Structures are given as C-alpha cells and as structure tokens.
Chains A and B, each alone.
Chain A
Amino acid sequence: MSNTPIKTFNVREIREQFPALRQQIYGKNLIYFDNGATSQKPQVVLDAINKFYSKENANIHRGVHYMSQKATTEYEESRKKIQRYINARKSEEIIFTKGTTDGINLVAHSYGELLKPGDEIMISAMEHHSNIVPWQMLCMRKGLTLRVVPINERGELLMDTFEQMLSKKTKLVAITHISNTLGTINPVKDIIVKAHAVGAKVLIDGAQSIQHIKIDVKDLDCDFYVFSSHKVFGPTGIGVLYGKEQLLDSMPPYQGGGDMISKVTFERTTYNELPFKFEAGTPHVAGGICLGKAFDFLDSIDLKAAEEHERFLAKYAEDTLDTFEGVKIIGEAKNKTSVVSFSVKGIHPFDIGTLLDKQGIAVRTGHHCTQPLMDFFKILGTVRASFAFYNTKQEIDTFVEAFEKSLNMLK
C-alpha cells in the first residue's frame, strides 16, 4: 500500500457507474432514496456477476480442475479484501453468511450455546427486528434474560442507564452501529469499552454503518461485527460475520454439512478450522466474489468526501422538510447519518409514499422492521428517505416539490 492512488469523489462520475439510477419510473426520472433498504450496484459488480456465471462458474474448495481452483482463489481473495477493508487481523476471522440476519442468528445459536440460565443479553430500544428476535429465541431456549437499553426523545441511547444495567451477568451486548430508522450513530467504541469492563462480549450490527463510515474492527475492538453485502453495493444473499479468532474458535459450529468438516464417520465427526467451520454447504460463490468487487469500488473513491456529501444531503433535506407545517423529524440525534425519517400530522405515511412513488421517487414507509421503536415514539410509522453518496441536492429539490404536491392532494 505504498503508493496509493489519489482517490476522488465526484457525484456525477459516480452516478455514471450505477445503471439502475438511469431509468424512468412512471415516466419520471427515478430518484432512489431507499438506500437504507438496499443499495444499487455499480457496473463493476454487475460485470463481475455476469462474468462469473458466463465463464467462471464452478464449485469451490473441492475441485481439482482449473475452474474450481480459479473460483476458489477468487473467493478467498475476496475474503482477504474484506479482511483488509475492515482491518481484521486474519482472513480466518471473516465468515461468509447470507447477510446480517444470518450472522446474528449464527452468533445467537453458536455463542448462545456457551451461555447458562440467568445470563443476560443486552440490546437497545432502536434495534431492527433482526437484532431482537434471534435473542428472544435464544433467551427462550436457554433461560436467559433479555434487557433493553432505553433511548431519549431525540433517539439517542441513555448511556448512563446502559452502564447501570451492565453487570457480571451480562454476557453479550448486541447493538446497532447506526439505526436504520433514526440514523443515530451510536457511541459503539464507548459501549465496547464499558461492556468489556464487565467481561461481556459485543456484537455490532453493521448493516447500516459499513456503507457510510470507515470500519476498523481492530480499533473498535468489537467481538463480532455483522453486515449485508446488498446494502454496501454488493449482491444480495451474502454477508459477513467478523469475529475475533479466539472467540470463534471457542464456539461450536452453527450448521452441519459439507465444507465445515474435517473428517466424518458415523460415530464421530471432527470439524474444519476457521473460517470453514461456520460455512456449511456450497456458499454463494458469485456473491462472495462480487462483494469483493464492491469493496474494490469503495476503495477507489474518497470515502471521507462521500460521507461529507451524504451528511450534507441529510441536513439539507431535514432543514427543508422542517419548514413544512406538521412535519416532525423522527430521530434528532446529535450524531447521525444520512437517514431522514419523518411523520406528517394527520397524514398516513403510506399515502405519502404511494404518491411519491407515482412521481418516480422511491422512499420507504412504515415501521422499518423496528416496531418497538415506533411504539416508543407512539407513531404507526414514518416516511424514510435514506441517501447514498450517489444522490444529489437536485434530487432532494425534486423530492421536496413532489412531497409538497402530495401534501396538497392529501389535505
């Protein structure tokens, strides 16, 4: 990494690499503001998917033939890229999964096996259902207690309460890095230090952070970090669980099958080593390889400038929306990313979402898989515009015009 090329950030150039952004919906230019749900894919990723299935398709880790070995090499190269990107110590610490949900379930089953009745799992009030339900299920299975760190009206964690809730019984803190509904960036570094002080492990749900901020798992010192490829410009159906080697070594396998074994007899099976111990069956080979291409793409741009651009967009959208009577921004944390969730007095989010859609604008409406959070704010749902670095100020202006038109129709 001695002579790193100079990285730039130019929205227009970046947009050119995303063919999905250049299309019309209902005769209108598409404005894609649903990046929190999933991101669009750059040409390099699309080309790699096409190339893999056209020329390189083979099963991996098993074949003596050329194609199998080539696919294996590429897949393992991709693992190393991801390791470098998030600054993990070893590529063995990078486990390919189906996505965030799968990664959390893996930890809940496998690390969960090591826990005993009376132990506590701690989550927060702003978690996605994916980071609630697997823990509830684990608690039921093993007689553990689930504890929920509360938040304030701005959508920030109550850190004092968090500290008071920690005890020797706390075995795992599973917390989202960034709230998909509120955009809040949680002080995860602080959380990790405090959790470690009582001997608890920490899982960071990185579904909404990997695409917005530079992740360094060594610096964070988290025990697990999970994310989905599809939210970080890669294909769907693949994701990553990072775990500290020692910890992963101490955990039993999650699923049994091919690839995860060392030797099988009917009497006894010995397991493969990391990372394969946790990767039973034929993995999503194309997905793994193409996720690597998504990280190549990210590596080619100035991420700091991209992040600034995203924050500018969010601030601009919030400030503009705020001028409308009856609009309430949901999620006003001091430290937040490019998610703008809002409600409008007397108007159902579904109505706004439907009319925006018909004007070519894709937003998300509803509870965003965070029903307990909606209960906290005493609302049924919000309209959420979530931006990526390929969005523009001009798109926000068009969105605001369309929003105004929708309001006039609904009033």
Chain B
Amino acid sequence: MNDIKQREESILAEFEMFDDWMEKYEYIIDLGKELPLLSDDEKTNERLIEGCQSRVWLNTKCTDNVIEFTADADAIITKGIIALLINLVNKLKPQDLVAYDFGIIKEIGLQEHLSPTRSNGLNGMILRLKNEALKHCIS
C-alpha cells in the first residue's frame, strides 16, 4: 500500500497547483482525453456502471493477483473522473483495493460528486471498482 500513498501524493500535488474549479476540470478533461477508448464491442451492458446522466463502462482484468482496469464514458468529465480513479488504484492487489478508502476524493474537492443522487455517479464508480476487486479476491 506504500505505492498508493505515493500516487495520492502526486495527485494532491497536481490539484494544489490549481487556483479554481475550471483549472481542476481542465485537468480532469485532459485525463479523460488521455484514457484509451474501449471498442464498441467492449461497451457491453455488463460493463456499464449505472449512473444517471452519462454512461461509464469498466473493463477488468485480474492476473497473478493484480487487478487492472480500462474504462470509457460518453461524457468527457465522467471519463476524466474514472481515469483519475484508475490512475489511483490500477494494478493493486484486489484485497488492497477492497480495503482502500478513497479519502483523497474529499481532499481534492470532488466529494460534491459523491452524493448518491449526483448525476455523474462517482459513488457508483467507486463501488464498482471495489466490487470487481471483491469478486477477484474471492475467486
């Protein structure tokens, strides 16, 4: 879990540079643009994370007890947010991901997206990441 502390710190450092919300979102949008697309075949209903307004697909692979994610979304901000989450927890051991608290979300001010009704469904994304990890922990 040392590794994740480092990742948190580098994200925090990034966000500290921003003066206002528009800059934060510019960064999130860039993350979204950098995230490789999923092919249309990969955008299956099983991979869809139920959100309210925009659709997010999450693809999971687990080999040698390392869990790896790719994702896509039809709104670029949503895609940036899932990219941020993936950067944070990609290639962890599933059990470490299950135990991880995502407290950093609050620190970088994205908690407003966390309420259950918030339309970009950050809550749903986090739950889904953990559920995927849980699935792979058990199997």
- Please tell me if B54 contacts chain A, counting CB pairs below 8 Å: yes
Cα separation A157 to B120 with both chains bound (whole Å) = 33
B120 touches A354 (CB 8 A): yes
Nearest CB of chain B from residue A113's CB, rounded to whole Å: 35
- Please tell me if A350 contacts chain B, counting CB pairs below 8 Å: yes
Cα separation A370 to B74 with both chains bound (whole Å) = 20
A409 touches B25 (CB 8 A): yes
B26 touches A409 (CB 8 A): yes
Size of chain A's interface in residues, with CB distance under 8 A? Answer: 18
A348 touches B54 (CB 8 A): yes
Binary interface encoding of chain A residues 342-369 relative to chain B, with 1 for a CB under 8 A from any of its CBs, else 0: 0000011111001100110000011000
Cα separation A124 to B33 with both chains bound (whole Å) = 40
A365 with B53: in contact, given A350-B77, A350-B78, A351-B75 (CB under 8 Å)?
yes
A366 touches B53 (CB 8 A): yes
A354 touches B22 (CB 8 A): no
B21 touches A358 (CB 8 A): yes
Cα separation A405 to B26 with both chains bound (whole Å) = 11
Nearest CB of chain B from residue A53's CB, rounded to whole Å: 27
Cα separation A366 to B26 with both chains bound (whole Å) = 22
- Please tell me if B12 contacts chain A, counting CB pairs below 8 Å: no
Binary interface encoding of chain A residues 383-411 relative to chain B, with 1 for a CB under 8 A from any of its CBs, else 0: 00000000000000000000001000110
The one of A26, A350, A365, A410 in contact with B29, judged by C-beta atoms closer than 8 angstroms, is: A410
- Hey, which chain A residues are within 8 Å of B119, CB to CB? 350, 365-366
Nearest CB of chain A from residue B61's CB, rounded to whole Å: 27
8 A-B contacts, Cβ less than 8 Å apart?
Answer: A347-B76, A348-B53, A350-B54, A350-B78, A350-B119, A351-B29, A354-B120, A410-B76
Given A350-B75, A351-B76, A351-B78, output 17 extra A-B contacts at Cβ < 8 Å: A27-B20, A348-B53, A348-B74, A350-B78, A351-B77, A354-B77, A354-B120, A355-B22, A355-B25, A358-B21, A358-B22, A359-B22, A365-B53, A366-B52, A366-B53, A409-B29, A410-B29
A-side residues, CB < 8 A to B, are 26-27, 347-351, 354-355, 358-359, 365-366, 380-381, 405, 409-410
